[in-house]
Structure 1
Amino acid sequence: MEQPNPDQAAWLDTPQQLDDWLAALPPEYPVGMDSEFERVTTFHAIPGLVQLAAAGGTALVEPRAAEGSGALRRLLEDPERPKHLYAMSEDIELFRDWLGVRVRGALDLQLAAAFAGHGMSVGYARLVESCLGVALGKGETRSDWLARPLSDAQLYYAVADVHYLRPLHEQLMEQVTARGFQEALAEESRTWCERQSVADAPESYYLRLTGAWRLRPGNQAVLRALCAWREHRCRELDRPRGRVIEDRFLIRLAEAVPRSRKALAAIEDMPSGVVRREGDALLAVISEVVEGPEQSLEPIPAPLTRSEKNHYRNVKRILAEQAESLGLPLELIASRRYLEPAVRTGLREGRLPELLTQGWRGRALAPRREELEACFHE
């Protein structure tokens, strides 16, 4: 198999160069894509490089060229133009926040590997070696992708990341089709793409803080407002959440509901810098909730009860058995993140949750439908 050759890659430095490179591709030709970025001291990822591979050619795209390219945006948003990525969630998030696009028509080859029987979340280098017999090594994932010029090792890594996408796609799709999961892969990739293309609402972040489920509704309302304020503040300052104020201090604020700077500073381990920089804003958020009208609130989910855990284990056992019979990872059919709330909802409503009845999962679980339904009708 032909090896990656950075010397043959096109280095695209301007929007016009990128537009011209994309215009030269045959219509509807699949495009392999990847991106390199930094996100250490910022809230949003800082793009360092975009890699494209199509029609036997490879392009390394400078961020300034991608930012000004209308052709790239049209490519990303075209649901009919196939795009092949690997572990695409962070790439789609980058394109969403940086270029303001909702990516459509993307196929995640890491998902394809799972449907092909290679396991869940297998790494790119490992899959290239197992499928194509090429050892890529550890790569340059921790390199400084904002530096210029890029090193020879970085250039090789950048090209290799997209060079093997097409042969991987061809081999994986043969395996996926032979196993009868072609439609399931397309559906799941589309779902993942849609999920990552829409940013979470700042007002919903508090639901991630599951350790705060014991707070009373009024205190959870304070926590919701504080979390939403921080989300907006992080975007304004372009700083990570922990650099503005850590989750644990937001929970302590919601517990204590301080109404003065003195009370704010008295909270256990509260950093003095947070009090100095953000104290007035935090107190204003708290006051607005305490003094304002009561609003509807989705409560932070409590841990499963003993009875719910028993039902969850029964459902998980059936799913694991069916996943094994299909040669699929259990996490692909239903990860804990989605299965737990689905089981809770199903028990409350007395019916099989939609997660297990719709789309490719519904078809895959059809042979165990009666057993699963029984878990929710006891």
Structure 2
Amino acid sequence: MTEYVVIDRLDDFRDAAQKLALGHGPVAVDVERASGFRYSQRAYLVQVFRRGAGVFLFDPPPIGDFSALQEAIGDEEWILHAASQDLPSLRELELEPTSMFDTELAARLLGHERVGLGAVVEDTLGITLAKAHSASDWSTRPLPQSWLEYAALDVEHLVDVRDILVAELAEQGKTEFAAEEFRAVLEREPKPPREDPWRRLSGLHQIRGRRPLAIARSLWTAREDFARAQDVAPGRLVPDRALVAAVLADPKSKSELASVKEFTGRASRTQLDRWWLAFEDGRAATDLPLERIPGGDTLPPPRAWPDRNPEADARLKAARPVVEEIAQELRMPTENLLTPDLLRRVAWAPPEPVTAASVGESLEALGARGWQIAQTSQGIADAFVGSVQSAATAAEDAS
């Protein structure tokens, strides 16, 4: 069994970066976080593999400055699995690829039934990876040797997997599809912060009234501030269901709050003063939140379309099976060919006149990639036009 060592000294880090620079071919990169344990999404381990250099496991907190690694591999192709999950943590360390290959996304485009890392490695290489530590607390120090072995194997096979997937993409004529998708992932702007993030509190729908919602908001904010300061996942301090239960119980004093048995969590009693102050702040708030927030650019659910916009409903019902059929022909999930949201939006507000070119322009404005537009715009346009003709024929028959 290989004895893996975590690199946490700057001299060792620079030496490893130099070895990686002297390696050859693309670079496999992975990140381990402590999601569910820590507040932040920072990387607590960065794994890198390159042929001719080997596997290196880096400990980000003591290293701090990763510029030597960026300089060593920044211009090479990086191989990641589900890159959109790891890129934010890598960017926090100022590690940024100029080009990349996403093995998870490639497997989706190729129509693989299973796209988790272990499944893709098994399907391509016939190697079974143990996934026992995927949900572990990677902020633990020292990291157990079994965890390090798991982390190393996450990158050790990625280059071989990439080579097989590259050949499969070429065989299916999807090389450019994948290249466009990879570029889109790299260039995607981070989502702006939610305007009312506290509304994501699980179980909030049980709370009625603007004042109780103000209390829920205050409790959520107090928990968030404390979690951030302690770098602990908020739910480990007080679960969402406990906050909601406390609001529903409507305690009249701090002792009544303490007696709410559903108000659980390791900080529910040790920080009782904090939670009670949040209750008082919520009860004194003058900026009461609305019970329902305006929908913004959110479309109505499709089940409401027959009443709200019957023409759009007809367009969607005509185009959806067309897109599904194209996806089947291309042997990929429909959502990777064109997300349901994009199809709904262009069906709700189609261009005038409806042509393949105008539908393509609408899809492009909504963020669809060139290959997706090329594959779907004509079929969608034909379906939209057909839905209008069908409606006209039905109206004539009815008269």
TM-score normalised by L of structure 2: 0.69
Q: Is residue 15 of structure 2 the alignment partner of residue 20 of structure 1?
A: yes
Q: Does the Cα contact within 8 Å between 2:80 and 2:101 map onto a contact in 1?
A: yes
TM superposition shift of 1:90:
3.3
TM superposition shift of 1:88:
2.9
Could you tell me which residue of structure 1 aligns to residue 108 of structure 2?
Answer: 114
Unpaired segments ≥5 residues, structure 1: none
Question: Measured at CA, do residues 316 and 72 of structure 1 come closer, stay the same or move farther in structure 2, by a change above 3 Å?
Answer: farther
Could you tell me which residue of structure 2 aligns to residue 203 of structure 1?
Answer: 195
Unpaired segments ≥5 residues, structure 2: 307-312, 352-358, 392-399
TM-score normalised by L of structure 1: 0.72
Alignment of 1:183-198 (within 5 A): 183-195=176-188, 198=190
TM superposition shift of 1:174:
1.5
Alignment of 1:132-143 (within 5 A): 132-138=125-131, 140-141=133-134
Q: Secondary structure at the match of 2:287?
A: helix
Q: Counterparts of 1:41 and 1:161 in 2: how far apart (Å)?
A: 21
| RMSD of aligned residue pairs (Cα, Å) | 4.6
Q: Which amino acid in 2 is paired with 1:279?
A: W
Q: Counterparts of 1:45 and 1:306 in 2: how far apart (Å)?
A: 37
Q: Is residue 341 of structure 2 the alignment partner of residue 349 of structure 1?
A: no
Q: Does the Cα contact within 8 Å between 1:34 and 1:85 map onto a contact in 2?
A: yes
Could you tell me which residue of structure 2 aligns to residue 90 of structure 1?
Answer: 85
Match of 2:329 among 325, 330, 335: 325
Question: Measured at CA, do residues 291 and 211 of structure 1 come closer, stay the same or move farther in structure 2, by a change above 3 Å?
Answer: closer
Deviates more, 1:132-141 or 1:172-181: 132-141
Q: Secondary structure at the match of 1:35?
A: strand
User: Which structure has the larger Rg?
Assistant: 2
Match of 1:182 among 171, 175, 178: 175
Q: Does the Cα contact within 8 Å between 1:34 and 1:162 map onto a contact in 2?
A: yes
TM superposition shift of 1:23:
3.0
Alignment of 1:304-319 (within 5 A): 304=301, 306-308=303-305, 314-319=318-323
Q: Does the Cα contact within 8 Å between 2:130 and 2:150 map onto a contact in 1?
A: no
Question: Measured at CA, do residues 82 and 113 of structure 1 come closer, stay the same or move farther in structure 2, by a change above 3 Å?
Answer: same
Q: Secondary structure at the match of 2:49?
A: strand
Q: Secondary structure at the match of 2:323?
A: helix
Alignment of 1:39-188 (within 5 A): 39-45=35-41, 47-56=43-52, 57-64=54-61, 66-73=63-70, 78=74, 80-97=75-92, 99=93, 105-119=99-113, 122-138=115-131, 140-141=133-134, 145=138, 146-148=140-142, 150-151=144-145, 153-188=146-181
TM superposition shift of 1:111:
0.7
Q: Counterparts of 2:191 and 2:95 in 1: how far apart (Å)?
A: 11
Q: Counterparts of 1:254 and 1:163 in 2: how far apart (Å)?
A: 49
